[in-house]
A = this chain, B = another copy of it.
Amino acid sequence: MEFKDLISFSPSWTNAQGEFAEIVFSSRVRLARNLAQFKFPLKAKKEELKEIFNLVKNCMASIPGEKLVFPLLSLRPLDKEFLVERHFISRQFFKNRDGKGIGIWKEENLAIIINEEDHLRIQALTAGLSLTKAHKLANRLDNDISKKLPYAFSSQFGYLTSCPTNTGTGLRTSVLIHLPGLVHSGKIRKVIERLGQVGFSVRGFYGEGQEVEGNFFQISNQTTLGRKEEEIVDGLHKTVIQVVEYETRARELLLKNAEIQLEDKIWRAYAILKSARLLSTKEFINLSSAVRLGVGLGILKKVSLKTLNELLIFTQPAHLQKITGHPMEPAERDTRRASYVRQKL
């Protein structure tokens, strides 16, 4: 497997196989770990960071599965954007690049981010609501690594991390969830508020500033210290099930009170996606949100959720440019995006 091959595959977490897949796009578990004999990345010298990268790389080689490890410095700007779009890293990761690196397993359900805030960030990403599965995947990798590389661990605090909010289990878990029912009915604000009160953070996933594009939200746990890993994962799982129930009820109400308006919106969105010759990322995300709702409500029977999931990833700017094989200005991308979407739908 080479880096350039990544564009040819759909990540396994887009396969729409998990529980409540029409509402919950994906589940994520991330473990923050640091190596016992080294300073935290922000304090470490360049040579130390390189040593850590190489240690992790060698360690990964002894772990099963087809995979790829590469330093951030080896990547072109487009490839870095591609990794952001692929949900591996955030743009913050681009800063102070020395010694940073990424390890990716072929199915893309597992990745290791090297020398970001912590020496290791073990990430598992799975389809639908499947936090336990993601947790198991991350745990297994964590165990495999811990056998070769001793972690910074305190019997009092647990895993030691660069930022104290991660100390303890070092676990952060989240879901990417589609909540058009709660948005359209105006109930989303209250739901976000309540979740905040019980220790969960909710933020719009697409869109800038106050705007939430496509009604996608990320719900994650806020605290980790003093709780068991299973407790945290199970807590989010139960909370998400409740949010899914709220969302389902909101959709039923919408359908009851404004069926024809809803159907109109959904059928128009689908028709435009199948016909437009120009599509911005923003418009695509919003139209595909309506189509996704239509699939969830059983109104659009011919559209597969998997295709919608894949389109959300592959219509992003860097993905489109990698598919096409050359850099493109936004106007050209809008044309290419439209033709790509037409072809896939």
Contacts and interface: CB of A to CB of B under 8 A. Distances in A.
Interface string A181-212: 00000000000000000000000000000000
A270 to B, nearest CB: 7
Nearest to A335: B260
Contact of A277 (B264, B275, B277): B264
Interface in A141-167: none
Contacts of A270: 275
A282 to B, nearest CB: 15
A267 interface: yes
A27 B276 CA distance: 35
B272 A268 contact: yes
Nearest to A277: B264
A278 B260 CA distance: 7
Contacts of A338: 264
Contacts of A278: 260-261, 264
A106 interface: no
A263 interface: yes
Contacts of A335: 260
A67 interface: no
A234 to B, nearest CB: 42
A335 B258 CA distance: 13
A260 B333 CA distance: 12
A274 interface: yes
A32 to B, nearest CB: 46
A271 interface: yes
Interface in A293-345: 335, 338
Contact of A272 (B260, B261, B263, B272): B272
B275 A268 contact: yes
Contacts of A268: 271-272, 275-276
Contact of A276 (B267, B274, B275): B267
Which of A274, A275, A278 is most buried by chain B, counting CB atoms within 10 A of its CB? A275
A213 B272 CA distance: 22
A270 B275 CA distance: 8
A267 B274 CA distance: 9
A186 to B, nearest CB: 22
Nearest to A269: B275
B263 A267 contact: no
A271 B275 contact: yes
A272 B260 CA distance: 15
17 contacts: A260-B278, A260-B335, A261-B278, A264-B276, A264-B277, A264-B278, A264-B338, A267-B275, A267-B277, A268-B271, A268-B272, A268-B275, A268-B276, A271-B271, A271-B275, A271-B276, A272-B272
Given A264-B276, A264-B278, A271-B275, 19 more contacts: A260-B277, A260-B278, A260-B335, A261-B278, A263-B277, A264-B277, A264-B338, A267-B275, A267-B276, A268-B271, A268-B272, A268-B275, A268-B276, A270-B275, A271-B271, A271-B272, A271-B274, A271-B276, A272-B272
